[in-house]
């Protein structure tokens, strides 16, 4: 069977998604209030987000800090590939009953589809450039997209090299020795594919929602259904491919979705009724973010 370039498939998938989203879009009238997303077409063009150098420092510090610590862990805590003797000593019964269902999975097609879906998901923020409500703010939305990607990647990298969890397929003696002893065979927890897909899906839905606070209920339900379903599909594919345990994709989904929602939420313009705020913190040489909730 002839393989199709994943990049081409990713582009086609993105164009199909973009065409569906654009089908809901119309030209702005002279008053700037025409929008098929919103009830009665009433829409405000005011950006819901606040972007400035000072506000971005903690986000970029968190992203760079997490990526840096992940690289340090990769250098000093990465374990060697499995030897034949180690493979023979692996016992599937040592895996908890909930996760054991993934051990005999080895669907190569699911692996390929999951890669294509990931590439397509990473292209989702390009929609903001084409939409007339968000196109003028593409720069600030692009900054937030980079922050979502960096923080999610950093969290994923830290977890993978901190836990060094063996992938399910390594327990399957029907899989080739080369596959079971690949350099990433101990990087099961947690699923980066699922985390990034959840992060960008929720980020996309959250931004569209924030730009259309008066959104039609049917469109809102549709957008969030897609945002929830895409990472769920990714989670299934990664388990079916034998690359991850169910717990890997559940944690990846939760972390990715949280980052995808929090980054735009914490960039929203101040609301006196909002009780959630973010501020930088420093502990020793570490820099990060702290969330404050007023009771």
Best-predicted range by mean pLDDT among 4-18, 131-145, 276-290? Answer: 131-145
Query: Poorest-confidence range of 25-39, 45-59, 64-78?
Result: 25-39
1 within domain boundaries: no
Q: Can you give the residue range of the structural domain that contains 273?
A: 6-293
pLDDT of residue 278: 59
- Name the strand (E) or helix (H) holding 280: strand 276-283
Alpha carbon distance 132, 48 (integer Å): 15
Sequence-separated (6 or more) residues with CB below 8 Å from residue 208: 37, 134, 215, 223
Work out the average pLDDT over 228-255. Answer: 96
38 within domain boundaries: yes
40 within domain boundaries: yes
Work out the average pLDDT over 213-237. Answer: 91
pLDDT of residue 136: 83
pLDDT band at 288 (very low <50, low <70, confident <90, very high): low
30 within domain boundaries: yes
pTM (two decimals): 0.82
Query: Poorest-confidence range of 55-59, 118-122, 194-198, 229-233?
Result: 118-122
Best-predicted range by mean pLDDT among 5-14, 50-59, 128-137, 241-250? Answer: 241-250
227: helix, coil or strand?
A: helix
Alpha carbon distance 181, 80 (integer Å): 9
Count how many domains the chain has: 1
Asked whether residue 293 carries a pLDDT value surpassing 60, the answer given is no
pLDDT of residue 203: 95
Q: Are 114 and 239 in contact (CB under 8 A)?
A: no
pLDDT band at 97 (very low <50, low <70, confident <90, very high): very high
113: helix, coil or strand?
A: helix
Q: What is the mean pLDDT of the chain?
A: 83
125 within domain boundaries: yes
Work out the average pLDDT over 48-73. Answer: 93
pLDDT of residue 186: 95
Alpha carbon distance 175, 114 (integer Å): 19
Asked whether residue 48 carries a pLDDT value surpassing 80, the answer given is yes
Enumerate helices (H) and strands (E) in the chain, giving the number of each: 10, 2
């Amino acid at each position: 069977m002839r393989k199709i370039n994943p990049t081409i498939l990713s582009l086609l998938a993105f164009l199909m998604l973009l065409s569906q989203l654009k089908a809901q879009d119309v030209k702005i009238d002279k008053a700037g209030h025409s929008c098929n997303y919103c009830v009665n077409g009433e829409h405000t063009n005011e950006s819901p987000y606040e972007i400035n150098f000072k506000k971005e420092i903690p986000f970029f510090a968190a992203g760079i800090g997490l990526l840096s610590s992940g690289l340090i862990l990769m250098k000093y805590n990465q374990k060697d590939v499995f030897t034949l003797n180690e493979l023979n000593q692996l016992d599937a019964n040592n895996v908890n009953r909930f996760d054991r269902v993934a051990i005999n999975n080895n669907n190569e097609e699911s692996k390929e589809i999951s890669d294509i879906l990931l590439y397509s998901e990473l292209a989702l923020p390009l929609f903001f450039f084409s939409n007339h409500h968000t196109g003028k703010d593409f720069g600030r939305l692009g900054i937030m997209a980079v922050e979502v990607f960096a923080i999610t990647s950093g969290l994923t990298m830290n977890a993978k090299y901190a836990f060094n969890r063996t992938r399910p397929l390594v327990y399957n003696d029907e899989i080739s020795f080369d596959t079971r002893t690949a350099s990433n065979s101990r990087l099961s927890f947690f699923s980066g594919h699922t985390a990034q897909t959840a992060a960008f899906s929720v980020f996309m839905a959250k931004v569209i929602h924030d730009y259309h606070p008066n959104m039609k209920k049917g469109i809102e339900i549709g957008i969030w259904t897609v945002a929830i379903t895409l990472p769920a599909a990714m989670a299934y594919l990664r388990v079916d491919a034998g690359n991850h345990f169910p717990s890997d994709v559940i944690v990846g989904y939760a972390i990715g979705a949280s980052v995808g929602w929090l980054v735009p939420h914490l960039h929203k313009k101040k609301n006196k009724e909002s009780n959630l705020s973010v501020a930088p913190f420093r502990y020793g040489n570490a820099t990060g973010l702290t969330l404050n909730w007023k009771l």
